[in-house]
Amino acid sequence: MPVDEERIVKKMVAEIADSNERFMGNPSSDIENFKRIVPVLLEKGIDNVNLSMFDGVTKSKLLNALGEEYIRKGNMNDSVKAFILAGNRPRLVEVGEHYEEVSMFGNAIDTYRLADANDRLLKIGKKCLENGHFADAIKAFRLCNDIENLTKVGDECFQKDKWDYAIEIFSAVNNTHKLVEIGDKCLKERQIGYASKAYELAHDKDKLSGLGDVCLREGLLATALKSYTAAGNDMMVQFIRENFGNKLTSY
């Protein structure tokens, strides 16, 4: 902010503060008066505004007024930035509720996280799970470290053959038994890539060697080599390289 503009803004704020001491018990009236300076701040943009010359109380009031104006203009992203800088958690939660109402669950979850509102994260996580929004449910439950509900999402994804989500969850909660179970089901259904990923994350060398055997029998040499390597099965790695090295093009 240029020096002259900075001095003008500071003078305006000082005048507003001096003339509004009687409104200190009425926050809404205070913010209404601070809105006189908001257009200057809007023009600068929340990412460029420097309010370091003001005391904490004044800075907070300005940021809250700026946040309210961003909401009025429909600029929710910048309103979130303003309320974060103002430390206004209740208002952040309200913005999160707005996102939730319009089914922008990812944005709602991000906003609740910034507000440190674990109760809201848990609630929206359950809502997303009920409505099949697995990625958002996973995100919400991981942020509040809810292992029980994460496992429920993982089980639901497993039943619906949503392997990416199921593997991600059970890897995050370090449930090797479930990862092996996923790997077995994927192998049975010839979802070789998912089976390999699940076994690797479970660090199950026996399963990886078994997968390598299946791939070798089916002529999937590169995948077999990868599985044997991950399993630490040096004998089979050497066998493939010496006997089929000329056929390996992708490993």
pLDDT in tens, 24-82: 344 444 555 666 778 888 888 888 888 888 788 888 888 998 999 999 999 999 999 99
pLDDT of residue 62: 87
The per-residue pLDDT for range 168-183, each reduced to its tens digit, is: 999 999 999 999 999 9
pLDDT > 90 in the chain, percent: 67
User: Bigger pLDDT: 84 or 5?
Assistant: 84
Give the tokens for residue 227: 């599985």
What is the gyration radius of the CA atoms in the chain, in angstroms? Answer: 28
pLDDT at residue 183, as a whole number: 97
CB 128 within 8 A of CB 134: yes
Of 112, 172, 89, the closest CA to residue 127 belongs to 112
Which residues neighbour 173 within 8 Å (Cβ) at sequence distance 6 or greater? 147, 150, 151, 154
The residue extents of the domains of the chain are 175-251
Q: What is the pLDDT of residue 4?
A: 52
pLDDT of residue 165: 95
Burial class (CB in 10 A: 0-12, 13-18, 19+), 207: buried
Dihedral of alpha carbons 6, 7, 9, 13, sign? positive
Give the end-to-end CA distance of the chain in Å, rounded to a whole number.
Answer: 56
CB atoms within 10 A of CB 159: 9
pLDDT of residue 35: 63
pLDDT in the model for residue 48: 87
Q: Check if the beta carbon of residue 210 is closer than 8 Å to that of residue 234.
A: no
pLDDT, tens digit (0-9, with 9 covering 90-100), for 9-19: 445 445 444 44
Tens digits of residue pLDDT in 114-152: 999 999 999 999 999 999 999 999 999 999 999 999 999
Rounded to the nearest integer, the mean pLDDT of the chain is 86
| In contact, 122 and 140? CB cutoff 8 Å | yes
The rounded distance, in Å, linking the Cα atoms of 93 and 120 is 8
* Domain 175-251 class in CATH: mainly alpha
Give the three-state DSSP class for 191.
coil
In the chain, the amino acid numbered 120 is R
Q: Which residue has the tokens 């990868």?
A: 226
DSSP state letters, 110-127:
HHHHHTT-HHHHHHHHHH
